[in-house]
Structure 1
Amino acid sequence: MHAVTADDHPSPADRPIAVLTNPTAGRGRHRGLLPEVLDRLAAGGRPLRVLEARTRTQAEAACREAVAEGAAALVAVGGDGTMHLALQAVAGTPVPFGAVPAGTGNDFAEATGFPADPLAAADAVTAALRQGRTRPVDLARITGPDGAHRWYGGVLAAGFDAIVNERANRMRWPRGPRRYDLAILVELARLRPRHYTLRLDGVTHETEAVLVAVGNCPSYGGGMRICPDADPNDGLLDVVVGGRYTRRTLIREKPKIYRGTHVHHPLARTYRARTVEIAAAEITTYADGERCLPLPITITATPTALHLLLP
C-alpha cells in the first residue's frame, strides 16, 4: 500500500462510499439482492467503491486501504464475519460505518439497530448519508501480550464454543454445517472444565469453567443470547462464565442460550467490567465468529469507538 498524502484524497463531495460485500454470506441466499442493495446505496448521491477480495485477509486489507485513501464511509454487506473484518478498518476513527445484514448470523447489525431486511438496511444507511447523521456505539478491543490487537462488536468466545470452532476449522471433512456438528460431538466427548484466571477491573477470579463469553452485544451464532444483558452503549463488557458443567448439563443448558435463561443455572456466573483479562492454556478465542487471538488476552470496552450510519 502506498503512503497516502493530502493530494491522494478526493475532494469531500467526491469521496466514495466503500462497500465490502460477501456474496457467499448466509450460503448465498441474498446474493440476488446485491445489485439492488448497491443501487439503493448509490441513491445517497456519492460514488460507490465496491471492494474486491477473495479471502478474509484481502477483505480486511481492502477495507483498511479504502479508509486510508479517504473513503467517506464504509458499508459491509454480509454476516457477522464480514462486519468483523470491516470493523478493523473503521474502529476508533471518525469514518462512519453501515451494516447491511445478509449472513447466517447478523447479531451485531441487529443489536445495534439496523433493519434485519437487507434492502431496508440499505435504505437506512442511505438516509443517514443524506442527513449526515451517525449514532455512536461501543466496541471491544482485544490486546495480546505481544501488543497485537483486534476489535469486535458482538461476543468473544473463550470456552467450549471457541474450542469447537477451532476443531471445525482444522477438519477437512465433512464440508458444510455437518463439519461443525461433528466437531461438537468430538469436543463433547473430550469435555472437561478448564482452569481460567479472570481479572475484572483488577479483581482476580480463579475458576474452573466450560463456557466463557465476553459480550459487547447480547448474542452470537444467529440469535444465541449468551450475554443477554450486554448493552453496546453502556461502556461496559458483560462476562458470562459457565462452571463445571457435565456433558449432560451442557447439552441441557445449550438451548436455553437462545432465551438468555442459561445465566440462571447455579453453575453460571455473570459479571460486568470495563477491562477483562483472561488467561487459560491452549485456547484460541473467536470474536464475531472469526478466529482471533490466543489466550491470554486483555479486552477493553471502548465507548463510542464506532459511528453507525443510522437515521
Structure 2
Amino acid sequence: MKLPLLFNPAAGTTPKDPDALLRPLPKELRDRVEPLSFGPPWDFGPAIDQALRAGGPLLVWGGDGTIHHAAKALVQRGCPVPLGALPGGSGNGLVRGLRTPLEPAGALRRLLEGRELRLDLPRLDGEPFLNVCGTGFEAAVAHRFAALPDRGFGTYAKACWQLWRTWQAAPLSWDAELAPDPRPASRREKLRAAFRAPQSGLPEAAWSLCFANLPTYGSGLWIAPGADPTDGALQWATLARPSWFDLMAEVPVLFREGGHTPLRHEGRLHRAALRLDRPLPWHLDGEPVPARDRAELTVEPRAFRMQVTGACPWD
C-alpha cells in the first residue's frame, strides 16, 4: 500500500505535474507514493484510510486552503495519521512557518525522511485551524480574494489595495486568559529577548487582528514572529493601517523574520472571548468564514499530528 499524495490542480498559479515531482526522488522513496488528483467537495475519507494502512502520513500538495480542509478532516477522524504539507499554493503560509522547503520535490523528500511533531490545535468557535485565523482587514481581503477568478500574489495585492483605502478599525472588548512570555533558555534566546519590545496589552480597537499558531502569513509576511505551535498558547497580532509612507518604509520590514515595526503589536493568550461592535468577516487559514461579532478562541495543546522536516525548529 502506497502513501496517498493528494494534489489540488486548481491551487496556486502553476500547473502541477506529479511525474516531475517524483522524478528527482530516489526509487525507494518514489515507490512509496501514489499521486491522486483531488479537490472539492473535500472527501478525504478514502485517502485517510489509505494513509493509515500505509503507515502515514497523509501527504497534501496544495495551498493553505486545501491543507486547511485536510487538517479539518483529520481532526474529525481523531488524527489517525500525521499531515504532511507540500507547498502548492500562491501563499504557502503554513509550510513557510514550519520551514518546509518551498520547492515541492525537495519538500516531499524532506517530509518522507522527516519526523512527526505534535502541534497545538487552536479553534475559532470550535472550528479548528493550523496556522492563523483573523478578522478585520485581513479577513476582508481573504473574502475579496476568494471571489476573484485569478490567483497569485498580484491578485492578492490588488485585493489589498482595493480595501486599504476604505477599511476602518473596529472597537474590541475582551475576556481573555493571557499567557506570559516564555523564559529564554539559551544564550541566543536571552540576547533576542533583551532587544524584544515588551508584550503589548490587549488592544481596544484593531484595523487587522489575527490569532497565530505559526509565525507567517502566505507570501512570507511575518505577522507573529513570537508564535510557537507547541507552547499551548496563541499569539495575537494587530496591524495598524499603514500610511503612504509606511507602505514604502515599514511594510517591507514585515517580510523580514527579525524585523521590528510599530505597525505590528503582539502578545500571547491561552484563551479569549472577543466582542466586536459589529459583525465582521473572519478567515481560518485564509479560508473565508461567516461574519460574526463575537468569537471564542481556544487551544488544545499538542493535539494535532504534523509531519515536518529536519529544518523545523520545534520539538
Normalised by the length of structure 2, the TM-score is: 0.74
C-alpha change, 1:186 and 1:282, in structure 2 (3 Å) is farther
| Counterpart check, 1:273 vs 2:269 | yes
CA contact (8 A) 1:17 1:46 kept: no
Alignment of 1:285-300 (within 5 A): 285-295=282-292, 296-300=294-298
CA contact (8 A) 2:215 2:223 kept: yes
1:90 to 74, 77, 83: 74
Alignment of 1:1-311 (within 5 A): 14=1, 16-28=2-14, 31-32=16-17, 34-38=18-22, 40=25, 43-44=28-29, 48=33, 50-55=35-40, 58=41, 60-61=42-43, 63-67=44-48, 70-71=52-53, 72-73=55-56, 74-91=58-75, 92-128=78-114, 133-143=115-125, 149-170=126-147, 175-176=150-151, 179-201=155-177, 207-243=204-240, 245=241, 247-248=243-244, 251=247, 253-259=250-256, 264-265=261-262, 268-280=264-276, 281-295=278-292, 296-310=294-308
Between 193-202 and 207-216, report the one with greater CA deviation: 193-202
Look up the SS of the partner of 1:232 in the other structure: coil
The one-letter code sitting in structure 1 at the alignment partner of 2:174 is: L
C-alpha change, 1:169 and 1:110, in structure 2 (3 Å) is closer
C-alpha change, 1:297 and 1:107, in structure 2 (3 Å) is same
Distance 1:65 1:181 in 2: 37
Structure 2 stretches lacking a partner, 5+ long: 180-200, 311-315
Deviations 1:169-201, CA, capped at 9 Å, x for gaps: 3456xx455554443333223222112223322
Look up the SS of the partner of 1:222 in the other structure: helix
C-alpha change, 1:17 and 1:294, in structure 2 (3 Å) is farther
Alpha-carbon offset, residue 238 of structure 1: 0.5
Bigger fraction of residues in helix: 1
Look up the SS of the partner of 1:241 in the other structure: strand
C-alpha change, 1:180 and 1:142, in structure 2 (3 Å) is same
Look up the SS of the partner of 1:37 in the other structure: helix
CA contact (8 A) 1:164 1:184 kept: yes
Look up the SS of the partner of 2:89 in the other structure: coil
Structure 1 stretches lacking a partner, 5+ long: 1-13, 144-148
CA contact (8 A) 2:178 2:269 kept: no
What root-mean-square deviation, in Å, do the aligned CA atoms of Structure 1 and Structure 2 show?
3.2
Deviations 1:77-103, CA, capped at 9 Å, x for gaps: 123222212111223523122122233
Distance 2:289 2:246 in 1: 24
The one-letter code sitting in structure 1 at the alignment partner of 2:121 is: L
Deviations 1:30-61, CA, capped at 9 Å, x for gaps: x23x2243565984598655444343xx2x32
Distance 2:120 2:148 in 1: 35
Look up the SS of the partner of 2:113 in the other structure: helix
The one-letter code sitting in structure 2 at the alignment partner of 1:151 is: P
Normalised by the length of structure 1, the TM-score is: 0.75
Identity of aligned residues (%): 24
Aligned length: 278
Distance 1:246 1:101 in 2: 29
